[in-house]
Amino acid sequence: MVTGAGRGVGRAITERLLAGGDAVVALDRDDAALDWLNGHPAGHRAIALAGDAADAAVTERAADLAQGAGRLAGWVNNAAVFRDAWLDAVPAADVVGLITANLALAVTGCATAVRRFIAAGSGGAIINVSSHQAQRPVRGALPYATAKAAIEGLTRALAVDYGPQGIRVNAVALGSIATERYQEFLGGQQPAAAAATQDQMRALHPLGRVGQAGEVADTVAYLLSDAASFVSGAIVPVDGGRSVLGPDPEQA
């Protein structure tokens, strides 16, 4: 089960899991964004569902569809809301609402997954998609950074609470990834400005580039697999080293 599966990282994760032979329920709020699954080579293993991942009725429906296709073994909370706010300019209640809009997507998905895993008695794996901003926020992105920090706390707490039931919970903390959203951001700039942005992005990541959605998908697929059977409560950076880079004005 993958949320936010219509495009970007969510789509890449879904494609990677389908390629590995899994059946996947692909959930997205935008019905049209799931059109890529029409006629997919995976056939009946590719299950599209339109709906809000923060709505428990929707996640329960997704779990039903997944269990109709086989054993529900993994749940990926990837869907996110990108809305910036400055605390001095926006009412506190509105900021709390923006934080909740992101956090609810993970909490609702985790709740459904945990309950289904326990009822089945066979354990399972949950992956929450976080961001480098949970540790090193970008200015103006307070709601998003705060929600992602909470999601990392949620990941650790669930790993502790439900490890005895054989449920593993991990998170991937992403750096900048070359998704459609990133390309649209560049496309909205003049060529010189876009080139400068790309230079800045290369400098922010020690590997000298932004990441690819497929690289995230490979990490998620590993964490869902039996190869990661003793990995739980981990926050795995998939960020090209961005979170460990400390710019220094004295550097040569």
Of the candidates 144, 162, 182, 222, the residue annotated as catalytic is: 144
By CB atoms closer than 10 A (0-12, 13-18, 19+), residue 229 is exposed
Q: Are 49 and 61 in contact (CB under 8 A)?
A: yes
**Which residue type does 82 have?**
F
3-state secondary structure of 198: helix
CA neighbor of 223 nearest in space, from 154, 175, 172, 160:
172
148 belongs to the catalytic site: yes
Marked catalytic residue, from 148, 162, 182, 222: 148
Can you tell me the distance from the alpha carbon of 171 to that of 129, in angstroms, rounded to the nearest whole number?
A: 6
Amino acid at 237: P
Q: Is there a catalytic annotation at residue 144?
A: yes
By annotation, the residues acting in catalysis are 144, 148
